[in-house]
Amino acid sequence: MNKAFHWPLMHEAITREDREVLIDYLKQENPRLTNGPKVEEFELVWNQWLGTKYSLMVNSGASANDLTMLALRERVGSGEIIVPPLTWVSDIASVLHAGFTPKFVDINPVTLGMDTNAILKAVTSKTKAVFLTHILGFNAITEELIAELKRLNIILIEDVCESHGTEHQNKKVGNFGLASNFSFYFAHHMSTIEGGMISTDDPDFYETLRMMRSHGLVRESRNPKTVEYYKSNYPSLNQDFVFSFAGHNMRSTELNAIIGLSQIKRLNKTIEVRKSNFEYFVKGLNAEHYQTDFPMLGNSNYAFTIILNQPNMLIRDRVENELIKMGIEFRRGLAGGGNQLRQPYARNLVQDLDLNDFPVVEHIHHYSWYVGNYPGLELEKIDLLHQILEEVFYV
């Protein structure tokens, strides 16, 4: 085997070009740094790219999740939210922070998102929404799910933090629910270092989000009727400081938005490179040993997904030892480290649940990994990864 080399999860996420744009901005005599016109410009550009009417930039993808759930609680009151056990912790945390009860269902082994049939079986009179995560660039939407949720009058929220540009029926995911959340963390499709976005076509939901993002201040509202309502009903208050909600400060900065405006110019191109890399990677896997039946149409993978077909601790440990030896960074368990039901924070939530009722995510938890996929990754490195993954079966 060749000697070790450095293969990180992400490489050159913030380029020299991005940094130079930021430096030029900072060279101004008195540049604005906090949330301002650059943030708004990035929101408008993001709307155009995604195809939604309204977007709101926040300081992280986790904040996007939190703000969305808090605004949803204002709209629908308390109840249950159906969630996946394979997701990032902030999805489940946001449900808890907003006072909802998470209800877990198992995932589809091909898309890695929640299984449609499992979702629909879990629906009760307490169900307020489905919080669907698109895992590592795969689409978890199905036509049956859209139709049934519409018939049942249940809200869909999409977590697209790991899947910018993924499509369902030639339409970008993030356009199928009341709202969708995105992350611009360093390791994702594009980065603002830290940052997130909430997108929606619902004007009232957008107004609630705008106010909640900035302490609940009514002056953040773009709706004259909203402003007039609070002015008329609270005349004794200084109208610059009327707090409609017990909100938060989840604003981003001009600096993050400037990087986002630079990065989004090449987003489509980098997605195409990642798609090509992913297809090459999957074609080189031995289908007898590893899962290869991933959906290719419409995917947008910023990582290579490695899943053993059969549970085998010996092979698992060999894979990890070889990856470490070769300097290939990886994460076991795919998104969020695997099954969230196993996490310390979740144990009190799921006392009555049996992990055996979640066989798909349990397999993913123990026998899967992801490895970085980014523009500039040499095919020779991917070939070496294929070699490593095959040789562990014949030691």
- Does domain 16-264 sit in CATH 3.40.50.300? no
**pLDDT, tens digit, 9 for 90 and up, residues 33-61:** 999 999 999 999 999 999 999 999 999 99
pLDDT at 283 over 90: yes
CATH level 2 (architecture), domain 267-391: Alpha-Beta Complex (3.90)
CA distance 145 to 143: 5
pLDDT at 12 over 80: no
With residue 332 as reference, give the H or E element that holds it.
Answer: strand 330-332
How confident is the model at residue 2, as a pLDDT?
Answer: 52
pLDDT at 154 over 70: yes
How confident is the model at residue 178, as a pLDDT?
Answer: 98
Give me the half-sphere count of Cα atoms (radius 13 Å) on the Cβ side of residue 361: 27
pLDDT at 4 over 80: no
How confident is the model at residue 186, as a pLDDT?
Answer: 85
Cβ 244 vs Cβ 209: under 8 Å: no
Between 379-391 and 313-325, two packed helices, what is the crossing angle to 10 degrees? Answer: 140
Specify the domain boundaries for CATH 3.40.640.10 within the chain: 16-264
CA distance 91 to 187: 18
- φ, ψ for residue 232, nearest 5 deg: -75, -35
- Percent share of the chain, pLDDT over 70: 99
Sheet containing strand 330-332, edge to edge, reads: 303-307, 368-372, 330-332
**Residues forming beta bridges with residue 372, ordered by sequence position:** 303
**pLDDT, tens digit, 9 for 90 and up, residues 303-347:** 999 999 999 999 999 999 999 999 999 999 999 999 999 999 988
Specify the domain boundaries for CATH 3.90.1150.10 within the chain: 267-391
How confident is the model at residue 332, as a pLDDT?
Answer: 97
Tell which residue, 130, 150, 115, has the closest CA to residue 72: 130
Helix ranges (H only) for 284-332 are 313-325
pLDDT at 1 over 60: no
pLDDT at 10 over 90: no
Q: Give the residue-averaged pLDDT of 286-305.
A: 96
pLDDT, greater one: 17 or 2:
17
**What is the pTM for the complete model shown?**
0.96
How confident is the model at residue 13, as a pLDDT?
Answer: 84
How confident is the model at residue 348, as a pLDDT?
Answer: 79
CA distance 268 to 239: 43
**Residues forming beta bridges with residue 179, ordered by sequence position:** 157, 200
Q: Which of 9-13, 178-182, 276-280, 384-388 has the lowest mean pLDDT?
A: 9-13
Cβ 188 vs Cβ 162: under 8 Å: yes
pLDDT, greater one: 62 or 349:
62
Three-state DSSP state, 186: coil
CA distance 175 to 276: 24
Q: How high is the mean pLDDT of the chain?
A: 95
Q: Give the residue-averaged pLDDT of 201-226.
A: 97
Cβ 359 vs Cβ 278: under 8 Å: no
How confident is the model at residue 149, as a pLDDT?
Answer: 98
pLDDT band per the 50, 70, 90 thresholds, residue 11: confident
Residue 193: partners with Cβ closer than 8 Å, 6 or more residues away: 14, 184, 186, 256, 259
How confident is the model at residue 5, as a pLDDT?
Answer: 77
CA distance 340 to 87: 7
**pLDDT, tens digit, 9 for 90 and up, residues 245-274:** 999 999 999 999 999 999 999 999 999 999
How many other C-beta atoms can be found within 10 angstroms of the C-beta atom of residue 67? 26
How confident is the model at residue 3, as a pLDDT?
Answer: 60
Q: Give the residue-averaged pLDDT of 62-86.
A: 98
pLDDT at 284 over 80: yes
